[in-house]
Structure 1
């Protein structure tokens, strides 16, 4: 719960900061798509415990939509995914890798990789590097946390078992 509160604070601050920076640099309504996508993916990340597979898949799909829109728009829109969207997608992918069955987790992870690959097609920029770094951390930490969870379940005594 405390992690989600911290994530929520980071998400709100990041969305606001990104919108402000886009208004200042790109002008016009350039910030709208980025902000809407960020709000949706962040909301999915914060609600991930309710429907892990569905919300993780939806978060990757919404991020993929944003990357595709950015690619199609060329220089008319800022490059996607925005840093906060990339962070939220990484949370979803990492959580999926930690908790979902292997097949579903692998599918979501591959979707995340495809999204980042699409961002690279749009060009090399700071957002691309940030999205790559966030996903790389999720691809490592998700399975590590899964292994830790598995190990702690094995080593923890069951009810009625002797601790000695």
Structure 2
């Protein structure tokens, strides 16, 4: 097992806890603002999508490919449903942040072709978002996904398990054995 395949350490857990707090506060704030502006029950769909997306982003370490693919699919369906049913525009800021986390994490950790597929899916969903017209939500979603696309490659290049030219199957020899 190389360092890329190891479970999340204490630093990674702190990042996930912080991300979870940001997600929870952002979802609560978005729901409050939708209740205040749209009224009735319009906030339920947006909140449900955001909760699912944020849960996928927080579970990304367990099944990297499937959580990212599910995140892209959930976001695409949410965008289409919001357009057809005249609901608040999707992806909401927290769903877009979760999508950016999934895209960036995929670029960092997945093999090249699956990472390219997830990145292309994120770009396609962002382009689909523009079908409802330019708004603040569209611009924010675009900036967040672009942020994931920009952050992923440097993180991939500097991932501890990827710098070494040694194969994960080759055990390293103790210093005495090399002499």
TM-score w.r.t. structure 2 length? 0.84
Q: Of 132, 141, 144, which residue of structure 1 is paired with 2:142? A: 132
Identify the residue that residue 40 of structure 2 maps to in structure 1: 28
Deviations 1:60-88 (A, max 9, x none): 11011110111112xx3111100000000
**3-state DSSP of counterpart to 2:15:** helix
Q: Tell me, yes or no, if the aligned pair for 2:156 and 2:162 is still in contact at 8 Å.
A: no
Report the CA distance between 1:152 and its aligned residue: 6.7
Q: Which has the larger radius of gyration?
A: 2
* Structure 1 counterpart of 2:124: 114
Deviation at residue 160 of structure 1 after TM alignment: 2.9
Q: Residues 82-136 of structure 1, C-alpha deviation per residue, up to 9 Å, x if partnerless?
A: 0000000100000000000111011111111111101111111111111101111
**1:77-96 alignment runs, 5 A limit:** 77-96=87-106
Structure 1 match to 2:112 = 102
2:161 and 2:45 map into 1 onto residues whose CA distance is 42
Deviations 1:8-53 (A, max 9, x none): 0000000000000000000111101100000001001001100000
TM, length-normalised to structure 1: 0.91
Larger % of helix: which? 1
Measure, in 1, the Cα distance between the counterparts of 2:66 and 2:45. Answer: 22
Match of 1:160 in 2: 174
Point out where structure 1 has 5 or more consecutive residues left out of the alignment.
Answer: none
Task: Mark the CA change 1:80 to 1:161 in structure 2 (over 3 Å): closer, same or farther.
Answer: farther
Structure 2: gaps of 5 or more residues: 1-12, 167-171
1:68-79 to structure 2, matched below 5 A, reads: 68-73=80-85, 76-79=86-89
Separation in structure 2 between the aligned mates of residue 92 and residue 115 of structure 1, nearest angstrom: 13
How many residues of Structure 1 are paired with residues of Structure 2 in the alignment? 159
Does residue 1:67 correspond to 2:79, yes or no? yes
| 1:41 alignment partner in structure 2 | 53
Q: Is residue 15 from structure 1 mapped to residue 27 from structure 2 by the alignment?
A: yes
Instruction: Report SS of the residue matched to 1:54.
Output: helix
Is contact 2:72–2:121 with CA below 8 Å preserved after alignment?
yes
